[in-house]
Amino acid sequence: MNYFSSDFKLGILGGGQLGKMLLFDTRKFDIQTYVLDPSEDAPSKVACNQFFQGDLMDFETVYNFGKIVDVLTFEIELVNLEALEKLEAEGLPVYPSPKTLRLIQNKGIQKDFYAQKNIPSAPYTRFPDLKALQHAVEMEEILIPFVWKCTEFGYDGNGVKVIRATTDFEGMPDVECIAEEMIPFKNELAVIVCRNPSGEIKTYPVVEMEFHPEANQVEYVICPARIDDAVAEKARAIALNVSEQFNHVGLLAVEMFQTEDDEILINEVAPRPHNSGHYSIEASYTSQFENHLRAVLDLPLGNTESKVAGIMVNLVGEEGYSGNVVYENIETVLGWNGVTPHIYGKKQTRPFRKMGHVTIVNADIKEARRIAEDVKNTLRVISE
């Protein structure tokens, strides 16, 4: 099929910042794009050929959108699976497939899958609702502390909470959830795996993630991870195994824990471009977004190795500020070598909302990390 400068239409479900960054590469290759998103202010709206506003969880909306495109992909997992299954049954290529998405969309099902496939992961128990979990805690079947995760609709640290006392249950949603054992770990790592329908497969280097202690969001992504080569090799091998078990097409971001004794445990996966791969736009030979596009179109995959060390800093709304966004001191950091801000196009900020990111590239990872700290302390996301 001729994808370039032709009538071919790539459909993307979700029009957030991941879609916007993916569209940079579709524009580079002159590939026609249709985007569906519930928000009329979606970041992707400015960059696609046709924008449709609609509910991603509504069967008819997703099905009808799929009927007007030639290949369908997504930048968010919360989409109507039944519509994707019907479209795929009618012959539309959907990548990653609804079968893969069904194993990943619900975190309880995802954890069960790891257990069935003997993929190392933290011990857990599934509960139909909060009351059942509270009862298990009362009966001392589940011991505090543990990590609570809602099985659906969690994102960016929402839907995850460390339970340190029974009072922590106050105000929590009464939904299906899992209680996961607290794992003493020394690093949170991630590996992005890329695979096309022909079976070509590549992994990006292992990255290390530093988290904000309160918001449970990634503050820094560091590539390459500052770990032993043997641990990095083990992490890449486990990520490849996970990818093969899910049989996905496109990108699979595999988040992991490196334990105190250098075991690797899977935390969770995302079948799409991912925050842990944003550094690749500036630091890699082929960005994660270009490789996702190459994969879903069954084109040869690009080189995943890094040209230079890269660190990504997330730009999130400062506490105490809501309203029309202002990027304070952005001119200052633009004057620094190897610093590239990405602004996602969200007009309204609020505390901890992801508004953009900044990539720092440098031949010296220590120097890159120092500059990243300076960026974090200088560039503030506030409101008018």
Nearest to 295 by CA among 203, 160, 169: 203
Q: What is the mean pLDDT of residues 310-325?
A: 96
Nearest to 304 by CA among 189, 193, 188: 193
85 is in an annotated binding site: no
∠ at Cα 90 (86, 14), nearest 5°? 55
40 is in an annotated binding site: no
d(CA 99, CA 118): 20
Tokens of 171: 């105000």
77 is in an annotated binding site: no
CATH code for the part of the protein at 123-181: 3.30.1490.20
Q: What is the mean pLDDT of residues 154-179?
A: 86
Tokens of 329: 């001191």
107 is in an annotated binding site: yes
233 is in an annotated binding site: no
**Span 36-94, pLDDT tens digits:** 999 999 999 999 999 999 999 999 999 999 999 999 999 999 999 999 999 999 999 99
* 123-181 and 185-383, same CATH topology: no
188 is in an annotated binding site: yes
182 is in an annotated binding site: yes
Q: What is the mean pLDDT of residues 9-19?
A: 97
CATH code for the part of the protein at 9-94: 3.40.50.20
Write a three-state SS string for 213-250: CCCCCEEEEEECCCCCHHHHHHHHHHHHHHHHHHCCCE
Residue 51 dihedral angles phi and psi, to the nearest 5°: -115, 135
Name the CATH topology of 185-383: D-amino Acid Aminotransferase; Chain A, domain 1 (3.30.470)
180 is in an annotated binding site: yes
Confidence of residue 157 (pLDDT cuts 50, 70, 90): low
Q: What is the pTM of this model?
A: 0.94
106 is in an annotated binding site: no
**Span 338-379, pLDDT tens digits:** 999 999 999 999 999 999 999 999 999 999 999 999 999 999
Q: What is the mean pLDDT of residues 292-300?
A: 98
**Span 102-138, pLDDT tens digits:** 999 999 999 999 999 999 999 999 999 999 999 999 9
Q: Where are the domains of the chain?
A: 9-94, 123-181, 185-383
Q: Residue 177, Cβ neighbours under 10 Å: how many? A: 26
